[in-house]
Amino acid sequence: SSTTRTMKFPLITTLATLSIRPATVAAFTPHSHSTINKHNTNPRSSSSTFLQISALESLADITTLSIDSGDIDTVSKYAQTGLITDATTNPLFVSQAGANGDARYEAMVAEAVTYAKRTTCAEDGCPVPEETLNKAVDRLAVNLGKELVGLVPGRVSTEVDIRLSYDTDASVERARSIIEMYESMGVSKDRILIKLAGTWEGIQAAKILEAEGIQCNITLVFSFLQAAAAAQAGAYLISPFPGRILDWHKKQSGTEAYAPDADPGVLSVKRMYAYFRKYGYDTICMPASWRPSRGADVEGSDVDEILALAGVDEMTIPPPLLESLSGLESSAVTRKCSAESDAAACVDPNFTFTEESYATYWETDGCGKDKLKEGIDAFTTETENLIKILIDKF
């Protein structure tokens, strides 16, 4: 098995219980970073099990949790619970920051515009070339990421311009530039994950960057093919989207509700996770984007997929679902993903993809093709909206 990378952090108590059980915080003894390994096989000591704990706390025992938000106050609030290790951002969050109006975000936007002018355009009133706008977009993402780095103990994911998803060289160049910006601000590259779309070109960009010590998060993963190719490229982490996989299957089948353990999105993520563990790939499986397996009208169904994947390496979860988990009892959480048992159940061969073989299989992958295009198109729209906001600032 591959050498593990340390990434875990103290587990304390949930936001919900802080207000009603303040004394419980002292009942937990924080771990050092190095004592909990990457694939969460050493959960918190059971010495505190006499306390009434929430599903969020129990989940944090067996799965590293990331918060899927770019809102500084919300991330800060959850980070203070000690249950959240990482934070993920995307073009929507950066665009929201650009239009927020809050003085803190406005300062980030103003700095990004000033930086872009200084490094490209140079003067007020000059035409705003594409290069200058791109620089401002990246700088704003970095400014937001730097704030988040100060709030969470782990890694922050920052996305490369989604419009470059089919251009390996340009993606690599922009990723290097983003890391240089972070390092110029005193943020080490080992605190950052570069997000790249799960196209063949994006995955190959990750392969180049990982060889340079720049860790990558392959996002918009809807297919086992994408996951396997990312692992073979040495990607640090993938973000499969079980909820959107479920959406696709519901539309195809006409089935409106699934038992969580039979949810096609859940089964897809478990297949990816099993493949990684069976063949010793060190890639982290971090599902994102959640839907109610049993249907939105069923009470508690909003966290169906999360609970059905409990025990997977990591999850990134938006604040409303973190809140839902904090309101459930710990008994709602049972380990559903186990490295040993899932690896033993894996029936996929470790077939090494070439660009040609990948393209051949990809042509038959309806869910992957449809949802990847949809995801890239949506994030492209958000990026273009952000650029319109930034143009007005020049």
| Positions marked active-site | 195
With residues binned 3-state (H G I as helix, E B as strand, rest as coil), the percentages for the chain, rounded to 5, are: 55, 10, 35
Structure-block tokens of residue 147: 């704030």
Residue 309 CA to residue 231 CA, distance in Å, equals 19
For Cα atoms 298, 301, 306, give the angle at the middle one, nearest 5 degrees: 170
**Strands 84-88 and 237-240, how do they pair?**
unpaired
Identify the sign of the CA torsion 300, 301, 303, 305: positive
Contact 67, 75 (CB under 8 A): yes
User: Quick count: other Cβ atoms within 10 Å of Cβ 251?
Assistant: 11
Residue type, 336: K
Burial degree of 107 (CB within 10 A; 0-12, 13-18, 19+):
exposed
Structure-block tokens of residue 163: 């419009």
Contact 93, 69 (CB under 8 A): yes
For residue 167, what is the DSSP state? Answer: -
Structure-block tokens of residue 134: 């791109």
Contact 390, 109 (CB under 8 A): yes
Structure-block tokens of residue 99: 């239009």
Residue 174 CA to residue 169 CA, distance in Å, equals 9
